[in-house]
Structure 1
């Protein structure tokens, strides 16, 4: 298993960040791993909703089938997915309001036989992508 975390305090209210995080048409403006949604993002953001995403992981294209697994509006949502070579992925977005600012945390987990072969490189690559994604997200909402 490989686990990654990135966190940033962003000078914007949680509602504004939530709106940006869940605006699937603008997802590629800040997510460094996203390339496109072949069929669009989830039609409605609800636990059990499914969607497909084309991504780049460690510089390689990857198709992931996602399911929304947790949802608390303006606070948290998580998606679980299946990627190439049987890799199971969990991505969780957590928003912690603090006045007019919000701490945004992104946690990721990668599981599967292929992960053990490349865990170190995957962790470094994913952490860098998450940190850059948070920088871009901040630029869109501040």
Structure 2
């Protein structure tokens, strides 16, 4: 298993950050691992809903089928996905209002046999991607 976390303070209210985070037409502008939605971007989010995403991490392309596991509008989005080679991925976005700003935390988890072979490099690459994604999300949300 490889676990990664990134956190940033975004100088925008939680409602605006949430709107940007869940506007899938903007997803490619801030998510550095995102390369496309093969069946179209999700039009709405609901617990149990699914969508497919094409991603690239460590230079490897992957198609992940995501399921929304937890959804608290304005504060939490947790998704779990199945990728190639038996890799399972979990991502949790948490927003905490902080005055006129918002603290955004992204927790990621990778499991599966293939992960154990490259856990260290995967952690480094995924952490860098999350931090860059938060930087780009900040630029879009403010």
Q: TM-score range by the shorter chain?
A: over 0.9
For 1:98 and 1:6, locate their aligned partners in 2 and report how far apart those are by CA, in whole Å.
17
TM-score, normalised via structure 2 length: 0.98
For 2:41 and 2:97, locate their aligned partners in 1 and report how far apart those are by CA, in whole Å.
25
- 1:97 is aligned to 97
- 2:88 is aligned to 88
Consecutive unaligned residues of structure 2, counting only runs of 5 or more, are none
TM-score, normalised via structure 1 length: 0.98
Q: How many residues align?
A: 142
Alpha-carbon offset, residue 81 of structure 1: 0.2
Q: Alignment partner of 1:80: what SS?
A: strand
Asked whether the equivalents of residues 24 and 40 of structure 1 are also in contact (C-alpha less than 8 Å), the reply is no
> What root-mean-square deviation, in Å, do the aligned CA atoms of Structure 1 and Structure 2 show?
0.6
Alpha-carbon offset, residue 39 of structure 1: 1.2
Consecutive unaligned residues of structure 1, counting only runs of 5 or more, are none
- 2:129 is aligned to 129
